[in-house]
């Protein structure tokens, strides 16, 4: 029988704190060497990883998880190759640690600098997507942090397999293996205890569904960077080009509906001339449409959208649709019902586009492009540890710089303050 959750969590947190200082002093060359070992070891371990992943898939199916969930969970050779490519992208990025963005010389001769330093110890609590294990580990290694990872029980075997690859790579690179730790206990008690370890852990990052975010936010004694749900919108203005609108709506909803930057609500200007064609296209792509009464006049077979639907993150082939009178009404709807993640306007009206981009209070706003681009890799950050929907201390895709903070360094020659 293993340690009780309180002792287990404290031991892991202490070990992370112990090695975090060393992790923060490694050079970019040393860190990149470890990342290179992760790339090689990932590809070399493809068979082992996929076999472990099959255990998780079988368990998830046995407890009735849907296709969208299984899609987030699956690991195959193509996805492992993609993870390795993402690691290479992080290797190519500049090391943020030690980089200065302010230098001043005061009248009394003090030289004052502001530099970026690691956060310290990061606890990452996430759900079914095992690729988060690699993304989080690699970003924390490159940014000089120690990280404690806790995935969902449905992905336990996959996460442990990936963590084994990372820890072996750390060892080969002369790093403490405890720079990256994976929690093996699956009970909720271990999370509750981990969230009390404010003496050793500097920040907690939850990544998953609404219930997980709420649990961590309510119970944590440690600062939390929230990666909340993605209730993303596409607004089709009356001036929108038909082909652009159709391509963007279908891509935003259908390209990968199980992820947080997929569109969940479609808003259409009441004077857009191709409303029926757009609804038909969604239905042809096997999307379940729930709609307001105005849409249902022409499509009486559709289910009526409830108040809850406007707040819903479906993560599936389902979308809520509403007609609006103008861009102002679209913006009000998005700011009220949205999760401040990613929202797009399709329009040929410059003033309307600028109004939308300025007034929508979200981490990422788009003009004539799919919401699916909100991603660390697409934004040039390499892998991402998540997408923050809050305003402090980072917003949107969170990469290397988001895993650092600032430190003032002052050089003097004996000055004292009078």
List, as one string, the DSSP characters of 301-358: TSEEPPHHHHH----SSEEEEEEESSHHHHHHHHHHHS-SSEEEEE-S-HHHHHHHHH
Mean pLDDT of 152-178: 97
- For 168-186, what is each residue's pLDDT tens digit? 999 999 999 999 999 999 8
2: pLDDT confidence band, cut at 50, 70 and 90?
Answer: low
Cα 100 from Cα 232, distance rounded (Å): 36
Domains belonging to the chain, first-starting first, are 5-228+390-411 (3.40.605.10), 232-373 (3.40.309.10)
Containing H/E element for 78? helix 77-92
Please check whether residue 344 is in contact with residue 240, taking contact to mean a CB–CB distance below 8 angstroms: no
List, as one string, the DSSP characters of 107-132: TTS-EEEEEEEE--EEEEEE-S-THH
- For 277-294, what is each residue's pLDDT tens digit? 999 999 999 999 999 999
- Mean of the per-residue pLDDT values of the chain: 95
Closest CA to 182 of 220, 132, 229: 132
Q: 301, exposed or middle or buried, with CB in 10 Å at 0-12, 13-18, 19+?
A: exposed
Cα 212 from Cα 225, distance rounded (Å): 13
- For 53-106, what is each residue's pLDDT tens digit? 999 999 999 999 988 789 889 999 999 999 999 899 999 999 999 998 888 999
Mean pLDDT of 117-145: 94
Mean pLDDT of 266-275: 98
């Amino acid at each position: 029988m293993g340690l009780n959750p309180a002792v287990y969590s404290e031991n892991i947190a202490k070990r992370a704190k112990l090695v975090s200082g060393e992790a923060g002093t490694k050079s970019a060359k040393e860190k990149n060497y470890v990342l290179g070992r992760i790339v090689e070891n990932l590809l070399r371990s493809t068979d082992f990883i996929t076999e472990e992943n099959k255990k998780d898939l079988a368990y998830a199916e046995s407890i009735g998880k849907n296709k969208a969930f299984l899609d987030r969970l699956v690991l195959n050779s193509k996805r492992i190759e993609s993870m390795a490519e993402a690691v290479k992208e992080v290797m190519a990025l500049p090391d943020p640690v030690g980089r200065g963005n302010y230098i001043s010389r005061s009248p009394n001769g003090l030289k004052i600098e502001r530099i970026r330093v690691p956060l310290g110890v990061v606890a990452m609590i996430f759900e079914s997507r095992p690729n988060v294990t690699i993304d989080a580990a690699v970003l924390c290694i490159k940014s000089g942090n120690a990280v404690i990872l806790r995935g969902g029980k449905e992905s336990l075997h996959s996460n442990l397999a990936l963590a084994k690859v990372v820890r072996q790579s750390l060892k080969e690179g002369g790093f403490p293996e405890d720079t990256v730790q994976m929690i093996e206990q699956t009970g909720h008690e271990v999370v509750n205890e981990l969230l009390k370890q404010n003496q050793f852990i500097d920040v907690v990052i939850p990544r998953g569904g609404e219930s997980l975010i709420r649990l961590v936010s309510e119970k944590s004694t440690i600062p939390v960077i929230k990666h909340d749900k993605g209730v993303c919108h596409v607004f089709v203005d009356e001036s929108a080009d038909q082909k652009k609108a159709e391509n963007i709506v279908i891509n935003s909803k259908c390209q990968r509906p199980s992820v947080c930057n997929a569109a969940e609500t479609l808003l259409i200007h009441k004077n857009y001339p191709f409303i029926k064609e757009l609804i038909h296209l969604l239905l042809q792509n096997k999307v379940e449409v729930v709609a307001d009464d105005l849409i249902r006049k022409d499509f009486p077979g559709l289910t009526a959208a409830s108040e809850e639907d406007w707040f819903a993150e479906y993560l599936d082939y389902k979308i809520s649709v509403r007609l609006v009178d103008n861009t102002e009404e679209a913006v009000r709807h998005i700011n009220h019902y949205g999760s401040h993640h990613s929202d797009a306007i399709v329009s040929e009206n410059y003033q309307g586009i600028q109004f939308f981009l300025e007034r929508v209070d979200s981490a990422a706003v788009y003009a004539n492009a799919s919401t699916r681009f909100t991603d660390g890799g697409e934004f040039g950050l390499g892998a991402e540890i998540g997408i923050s929907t809050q305003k402090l201390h980072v917003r949107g895709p969170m990469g290397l710089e988001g895993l650092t903070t600032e430190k003032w360094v002052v050089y003097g020659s004996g000055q004292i303050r009078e």
